[in-house]
Each structure stands twice: as structure tokens, then as C-alpha cells.
Structure 1
């Protein structure tokens, strides 16, 4: 893996974590199942974007 791809992967993981925590705190504080579904959805979107745009 090149240095650029490692940096892009690290940044995308950091953005994903910040987005998950932000959505959890903003919308789903006391709703466990909705939080879980939203978090799984966010991760699936990031995985789909990875396979569509970043995988070489």
C-alpha cells in the first residue's frame, strides 16, 4: 500500500468515527436499536464508497 492510500484510509476512518459519534449524540441518545441501525447504515455507506472509489 502506498503512503497516500494509507493516509486516505486513515482520514476516511476518522471521518466515519466522527460522523457516527455526532449522529449518536445529536439524534439517538436513548434509542439503542435506532442507534445500532444508523451506525450500521453509516458503516455500509463508507464501505460502499471505499469499494466504488478508493479500491484499486
Structure 2
């Protein structure tokens, strides 16, 4: 397997993690259930973007 797609996937996963942590810290620090729902939503949005635009590149 070529190294370039692996690096892109790792960077995409790191970007998703950064967004999740930033939203947690900025908006939902002391609220468990809303934070969990928003985190799941963020992961689903990243998954949808990956499936739609980045899977075949």
C-alpha cells in the first residue's frame, strides 16, 4: 500500500479528534448526554464526508 493515502487517513482522523475535543471543551464541558450526542454527530458527519468525497481518491 502506498504511504500517501495512509498519511491522509491519519490526518483526517486527527482532524476529527481535534474537532471533537474542541467542541467538548468550548461548549459541552459539564454536560454528558448533549456532549455524547454531539460527538456522535460529528463522527457521523466526518464519516459521511469520507464516504462521499474521499473514499475513492
Aligned length: 56
Q: Matches of 2:37 and 2:3 in 1, distance apart? A: 33
SS of the residue 1:36 aligns to: helix
Unaligned stretches of 5+ residues in structure 1:
none
- Structure 1 segments, 4+ long, off by >2 Å, are none
Cα RMSD between the aligned structures?
0.9
Q: Residue 48 in 1 paired to residue 15 in 2?
A: no
SS of the residue 2:5 aligns to: helix
Cα deviation, residue 2, structure 1? 2.4
Unaligned stretches of 5+ residues in structure 2:
none
